[in-house]
């Protein structure tokens, strides 16, 4: 049971969170429009709420894109160079990305601590500012995990194929 839940989360956690955020964002924005038309009153919190939803949404997309390998790139190396060399460079780039995400994670932790000490609050909803900045920690943590998973999968696939004497793809 726990294993199944864990697998489900591992496969889809970003999708669930992002989907929920996107639906929330849409609904609250609609509420705002509706209130403005119907009662001519513009609340200040819905817009702020939507913006913060999107900040979380956007930081979750990093892990999502790493997992699905869907970040935009030129991909010249693997098209121009021989497969084996291209693959090695590709692996090195993945390792660099992993190092980059780890580096960013460490500094986003410092950033959150720093913002927490200022104890500033948001203008409309009055929530502590560092709650918004926590999105960076969550985002980069997922990115680190996904990037590590990606590298392991890449190595496993290629070593397995390599051991059977097939060309590395």
Partner 1 sequence: MTVTILIVFILCMALSFPIAIAMALGALVPQFIDASTITDTIYIIRTMVVGLDSTPILAIPLFILSGALMSRGGISQKLFDVFAYISGTRTAGLPCAVIVTCLFYGAISGSGPATCAAVGSMAVPLLVSLGYDTAFSAAMVTVAGGLGLIIPPSISFINYALVTGTSVTSLFVAGIFPGILIAIFLMGYAYYYCKRNGEDKEKIAINYKKLRERGILGVLRDGFWALLCPVIILGSIYSGICTPTETAALSVIYALLVSVIAYKTLKWNQVWSVVLEAIKAVAPLCVLIAMATALGRILTLANAPQQLATFVESTMQGKVSFLIILNIVLLVLGMFIDGAPAILILSPLLMPVAQVYGIDPVHLGVIIVVNMTIGLASPPFGLNLFVASSISDVPITEIGKKTIPFIIMFVLALVLITFIPGISTILVK
Binding site for partner 1 (CB under 8 A): 15, 18-19, 22-23, 25-26, 29-30, 32-33, 36, 47, 50-52, 54-55, 57-59, 61-62, 64-65, 68, 70-78, 89-90, 93, 96-97, 100, 103-104, 107-108, 110-111, 114, 132-133, 135-136
CB of residue 128 to partner 1, shortest distance in Å: 14
Which one, 111 or 162, has the nearer CB to partner 1? 111
Helix (H, G, I), strand (E, B) or coil at 90: helix
Instruction: Note whether 54 and 39 are within 8 A (CB).
Output: no
CB of residue 14 to partner 1, shortest distance in Å: 8
Euclidean distance between CA atoms 83 and 35, whole angstroms: 59
Helix axes 83-118, 130-163, angle to 10 degrees: 160
Which one, 45 or 100, has the nearer CB to partner 1? 100
Q: Which helix (H) or strand (E) holds 138?
A: helix 130-163
Which one, 123 or 165, has the nearer CB to partner 1? 123
Q: Which helix (H) or strand (E) holds 6?
A: helix 2-39
Euclidean distance between CA atoms 48 and 5, whole angstroms: 33
The count of C-alpha atoms lying within 13 angstroms of the C-alpha of 30, restricted to the half-sphere facing its C-beta, is 6
Which one, 2 or 72, has the nearer CB to partner 1? 72
CB of residue 11 to partner 1, shortest distance in Å: 12
CB of residue 47 to partner 1, shortest distance in Å: 6
């Amino acid at each position: 049971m726990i294993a199944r839940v864990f697998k489900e989360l591992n496969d889809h956690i970003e999708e669930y969170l992002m989907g929920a955020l996107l639906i929330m964002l849409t609904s609250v924005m609609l509420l705002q429009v509706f209130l403005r038309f119907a009662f001519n009153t513009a609340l200040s919190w819905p817009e702020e709420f939507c913006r913060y939803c999107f900040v979380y949404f956007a930081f979750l997309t990093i892990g999502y894109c790493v997992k699905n390998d869907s970040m935009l790139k030129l991909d010249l190396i693997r098209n121009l160079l021989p497969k084996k060399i291209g693959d090695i460079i590709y692996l090195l780039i993945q390792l660099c990305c992993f190092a980059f995400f780890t580096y960013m994670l460490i500094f986003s932790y410092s950033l959150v601590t720093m913002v927490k000490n200022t104890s500033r609050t948001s203008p409309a909803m009055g929530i502590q500012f560092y709650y918004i900045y926590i999105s960076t920690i969550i985002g980069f943590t997922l990115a680190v995990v996904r990037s590590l998973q990606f590298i392991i999968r890449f190595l496993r696939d290629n070593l397995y194929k390599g051991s059977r004497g097939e060309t590395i793809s």
